[in-house]
Chain A
Amino acid sequence: GQNIDQPTEMTATEGAIVQINCTYQTSGFNGLFWYQQHAGEAPTFLSYNVLDGLEEKGRFSSFLSRSKGYSYLLLKELQMKDSASYLCALRDSNYQLIWGAGTKLIIKP
């Protein structure tokens, strides 16, 4: 079977750095996605990892370790607009996305 775990909620301070973890178990792996979803809005694509290592995109970075079934999203220089839910999604052997329940990130001034 397949399973994705991420923390339900995290709180961080404006200007700080936060790491959102995602662990997964799967029989087939074809990449891992991170999406951002503001309340009442659609998910929007942030990053994609298929090989081990770190992918950096401005203030956001995503890391993958396939052997450990682990990924994280790193957000630097946090801004109030980063308050949102962050969704981890695994692309399985059928090339369908299996989604985690999301991590709600609260940014405090």
Chain B
Amino acid sequence: IAGITQAPTSQILAAGRRMTLRCTQDMRHNAMYWYRQDLGLGLRLIHYSNTAGTTGKGEVPDGYSVSRANTDDFPLTLASAVPSQTSVYFCASSEAGGATDTQYFGPGTRLTVL
């Protein structure tokens, strides 16, 4: 079944540790996105990539980095995790350039930083 997968599903991490959240899509979408979702707040964009080889900063990029070596994969790295990065992280993708450019979401990663 085509779609977006994320790994891990959930993770508990000690503060100061490095962590990479994985995201893979098989829809051949050009654009990919990382969001975090916190209670009472809307989804906030961390980083995005409009096409393989390019990335951009979203609303809350500090403490996070991304890479886009190919079309399918868009990993998110926390270089040194802090408790404020406890959140649910969603990866999304879109065709980009289409009439609606609808974003489709992966199942999410629930991250707890202690």
Q: DSSP majority for the B interface?
A: loop
A43 touches B43 (CB 8 A): yes
A101 touches B45 (CB 8 A): no
Question: Nearest A residue to B35 by beta-carbon distance?
Answer: A99
Q: Which residues of B contact A102 (CB under 8 A)?
A: 42
A4 touches B104 (CB 8 A): no
Question: Nearest A residue to B4 by beta-carbon distance?
Answer: A42
Known: A43-B90, A45-B102, A45-B104. A87 touches B42 (CB 8 A): yes
A99 touches B102 (CB 8 A): no
Closest 8 CB pairs of A and B: A99-B42, A42-B105, A99-B43, A48-B100, A101-B42, A45-B102, A43-B105, A100-B42
Which residue numbers of A lie inside 8 Å of B, CB to CB? 4, 31, 33, 41-45, 48, 50, 87, 89, 91, 95-102
